[in-house]
Amino acid sequence: MIKLTQNLAIEAGRHGISVFSIHPGLLPIGLAETALRPDAPPGTHDARVHAWARGERTAGRGAEPGPAIEQICRLTIGRYDELSGRHVCVHDDLEEILRHIHHVRDSELCLLAMHRIAV
C-alpha cells in the first residue's frame, strides 16, 4: 500500500493531484465491531481476537469514526499536499509533521508519525 501510494503520488503529482494512504486506527465498525464484542466463549479464536482488539484500543491504537473522517478531510483541503506520497495515521499531528517537512524529505520518510520521526 505504501509503495503504491508513493508511485501514485509521483504519477498524479504531474497533474497537481496529491495522494495519501491513511491508517484509520482500529475502528469499532465493520469487522472490528465483531472482534470487539465480548461474547466469545473463552479459549476460542474469537476470544483471542477480541482480546487483541481490546488491547489495541486500550494501547491507543484504536479510533472513533469521527476523528478518522476528520483526518481524511484535513488531507483533502490541500494544506498538507507537501506530504503527498506518504502514509499517515489517524493519530498523526499533521501540523507537527509539516513543521518538519525538510527532515521528512531529506530522510525520504514515507511512514509518518512524530513518534517515528527522529527529529
Q: Tell me the domains of the chain and their CATH numbers.
A: 2-106 (3.40.50.720)
pLDDT tens-place string over residues 33-67: 777 777 878 888 888 888 888 888 888 778 888 98
Q: How far apart are CA 119 and CA 115, in angstroms?
A: 9
Percent of the chain with pLDDT over 70: 90
Position 11 pLDDT exceeds 70: yes
Q: How confident is the model at residue 111 (pLDDT cuts 50, 70, 90)?
A: low
Q: Report the greatest alpha carbon distance in the chain.
A: 54
Indicate the SS3 state at residue 89. strand
Of 5-14, 67-76, 78-87, 103-112, the least confident: 103-112
Check whether 100 has a pLDDT greater than 80: yes
Round to whole Å and give the CA distance between 4 and 68.
Answer: 21
Comparing C-alpha atoms, which of 31, 4, 41 is closest to residue 19?
A: 4
Alpha carbon distance 88, 2 (integer Å): 10
Quote the DSSP letter at residue 101. Answer: H
Average pLDDT over residues 76-89: 92
Task: Tell me the average pLDDT across 87-114.
Answer: 81
Per-residue confidence (pLDDT) for residue 119, from 0 to 100: 46
